[in-house]
Amino acid sequence: MIVVKGGVTTAKGFLASGVKAGIKKSKKTDLGLLYSEIPAVAAGAFTINRFQASPVKISKAHLKNNAHHAIIVNSGNANCANGKRGDMDALLMADYIAKIMGLNRKDVLVASTGIIGKVLPIDKIKNRIPYLVSGLSEKGGSDFAEAILTTDTEKKEFAVKMKLGSSVVTIGGACKGVGMIYPNIKIENHATMLAFITTDAAISKKMLEGALNEAIDSSFNMISVDGDMSTNDCCFILANGIAGNKKIKSKDGNYQKFVRGLKFLTSELAKMLVIDGEGATKFVTIDVIGAEHQGDAKRIARKISTSNLLKCCIYGEDPNWGRIISACGASGVEFNPSKVDVYLGDIKVLSGGSCVKGYDKNKAKRLFKRKKIYIKVDLKSGRSKATAWTCDFSKEYVEINSEYST
């Protein structure tokens, strides 16, 4: 597997575009289209927030189709809490693309991100659809990546190539989200983060769903910027089979290779989201090892990642490891505190549940001045582990979110 430059149009047979529709007050690009030149199988994962936005509801319904061609997405307006009108506007977005491109509207998936509770300016979107479609190109991936941004400071794109048998398969992606980030997204068959992934691999819908579920479980579902779950979180993957590999129909060796590539891509995209978190000055990696079950490790890692007190300590460059053990204890996971070790970087601060006497506090403070901070918790209860990523809480985060809707 190798990393290549690109995003959603790096895989064969995918085109994209982005235009300015006037949805955002900033007048920046705010309407994007992703298109597969041949029918693609699709999978999607969505927020478990009970107050789901209209595009989430529509896309969940459309994913029941066997094949899909396009995804239309707008930024600047979440189209959430708009009742039946919101649902109709989300359907109209799909309709406009379907009619001009000769598709069934169920072939089109929809996503939105932005302010909650404002009516979507559907006429502005309708007026720009012809330009959105005519602008589709293999070079349009970057425009698409820009169209999905809200308070992000930069585009987030990534792509990898790998060999499956004698065929070269590509996976590319783009995502957005730097606030209201604490995803818990699930495959439907079983600020806002939006992720769009494309691949030219030949793979069945069932295997694609399984691969996406495995990938997001260890990537997007392990990040936190502020611990708030969005109403619009979604992750889509389209696979059109143009690479010509032997179709993946079971969890064989090629499936495992594909999953490894997909996991790597989603993890890199997920880390980009955290690094660009609203007002973030620090990037924090949290490893929890020695858990009895992987679910326990994930639960503790996520609990630590959402500790507001710890995130404030990190911003203030105060290595208060008491915040870490407090989060562990509040996670609801059963473990023996008298076995636990905690490390800040390479400094052991807790050993067997007790403070390490004479540890170098000044060295720990110097570690917290770095842009990248590493925390490790060893439960010494088993062999399971998990990694979570988070950032600090800064004054800028408060400023951004105290005037977001004005």
Catalytic entry in 29, 192, 266, 387: 192
Give the per-residue SS3 of the chain.
CEEECCCCCCCCCEEEEEECCCCCCCCCCCEEEEEEEEEEEEEEEEECCCCCCHHHHHHHHHCCCCCEEEEEEEEEECCCCCHHHHHHHHHHHHHHHHHHHCCCHHHEEEEEEEECCCCCCHHHHHHHHHHHHHCCECCCHHHHHHHCCCCCCCCEEEEEEEEECCEEEEEEEEEECCCCCCCCEEECCCCCCEEEEEECCCECHHHHHHHHHHHHHCCHHHEECCCCCCCCCEEEEEECCCCCCCCECCCCHHHHHHHHHHHHHHHHHHHHHHHCCCCCCCEEEEEEEEECCHHHHHHHHHHHHCCHHHHHHHHCCCCCCHHHHHHHHCCCCCCCHHHCEEEECCEEEEECCEECCCCCHHHHHHHCCCCEEEEEEECCCCCEEEEEEEECCCHHHHHHHCCCCC
10 catalytic residue (yes or no): no
Catalytic residues: 192
